[in-house]
Amino acid sequence: MNLGALVAKRLLQILDMKWIEAKVVFDFDDKQLATDLIADIFYELGTTGLVVEEPDIDHPEDWGKDAIQSEHYAVTGYFPRDEKTRTRRRVLEKNLARLEKKNGIICKIVYSDIKESDWANQWKAHFRPEKITANIVVKPTWRQYLGNQNEIILEIDPGMAFGTGTHPTTCMCITMIEKYLNKGDSFLDVGTGSGILMVAAAKLGAGRVWGTDNDEVAVDVAGKNLAQNKIAKATFNVVTGNFIEKVSAQFDVVAANITSKSILILLEDIKKVLIKKGTFICSGIIEEDKNNVIEKMENLGFEIIEILTKENWVSIASMLR
């Protein structure tokens, strides 16, 4: 069998790979709080690309007319069907049961098998363009959006493992990057996922953008999104690695939209990659962890310059003294 046939065969195997769709339908008065707490459970399991269904959401008519209208409030995550499937399901069910006991959020999990080839089209139906700041719009690559000449449009195709960039934690990160990044600054995104923060930084005038992720799929997706947005290849670099272990340079601005637990670990070494008086922007922090993160940052010599809170999520901008 020649090389081309082998590649084609492998591609078919990947496209026929089985995944588990875990749809958590919930009932709770504070819908946003419930959504965020359930999403955080998925994030802790390593599932970063989620579909959030809101039946009463209202979008402008020209923003994705064919997007699916949901019947229930639900958060859906996807796991590969492999040797870890049972463990993931057990952890998910245990944490949701704890959530019901502690917060009163009633959840029902519906599992479905799905082929990656089918999923590649199904999940796209949920995403629309969304305005992040007064000047920045995130647009899925498969949607049409007629913006004005003053808008910065981030075209994102997250693949099937990463969000499109409209989660509150990402929105706040982009807001802070827009505020604190100066033209020509160097920028590092730790845990880059789809690469959306790198794209935003580049389009806002960063001279050099780097990203890291421990997932090879993320690195590939981020690279493609940077190319899709016509970011010059000579100005960006995406590397596979845990946090900053593969990064030897220092940067003017470092961002990390990860979990609270991961930020606390990252802070131990962040000075290696951040210049003195550089800006560190972190997000993905749940409100109950905010004080722990702030305390550690201040103990390590960071000055807190801004805190944003949105829908029970917290983002912090700080300067290294």
Please name each of the domains of the chain with its CATH number.
17-125 (3.30.70.120), 127-320 (3.40.50.150)
Strands 106-115 and 152-156: unpaired
Is 8's pLDDT higher than 60? Answer: no
Q: What is the pLDDT of residue 122?
A: 62
Distance CA 270, CA 93 (A): 34
Handedness of CA 163, 169, 171, 173 (dihedral sign): negative
DSSP per-residue string spanning 181-211? PPTT-EEEEES-TTSHHHHHHHHTT-SEEEE
What mean pLDDT do residues 120-124 have? 63
Distance CA 163, CA 159 (A): 9
Q: 144: pLDDT confidence band, cut at 50, 70 and 90? A: confident
Distance CA 244, CA 246 (A): 6
Among 221, 219, 225, which residue's Cα sits nearest to residue 238?
A: 219
Mean pLDDT of the chain: 85
The two structure tokens encoding residue 219:
């690195």
- CB of 51 within 8 A of CB of 119? no
3-state SS of 128-183 is CCEECCCCEEEEECCCCCCCCCCCEEEEECCCCCCCCCCCHHHHHHHHHHHHHCCC
Q: What is the pTM of this model?
A: 0.72
Residue 147: other Cβ atoms inside 10 A: 14
Q: What is the pLDDT of residue 118?
A: 63
Among 72, 79, 81, which residue's Cα sits nearest to residue 41?
A: 79
Strands 136-140 and 152-156: parallel
Residue 179: other Cβ atoms inside 10 A: 15
| Alpha helix (H) residue ranges in the chain | 3-15, 31-44, 85-103, 116-122, 168-180, 196-203, 216-228, 260-266, 290-299
Q: What is the pLDDT of residue 283?
A: 95
pLDDT tens across 190-213, in order? 999 889 999 999 999 999 999 999
Q: 159: pLDDT confidence band, cut at 50, 70 and 90? A: low
- Quote the DSSP letter at residue 47: -
Q: What is the pLDDT of residue 184?
A: 97
Distance CA 236, CA 284 (A): 24
The two structure tokens encoding residue 44:
């802790």
Q: What is the pLDDT of residue 33?
A: 87
- Quote the DSSP letter at residue 19: E
Q: 19: pLDDT confidence band, cut at 50, 70 and 90? A: confident
φ and ψ at residue 291, rounded to 5 degrees: -65, -35
Question: Hey, what's the torsion of the CAs at 78, 84, 88, 91, to 10 degrees?
Answer: -170
SS3 60: coil
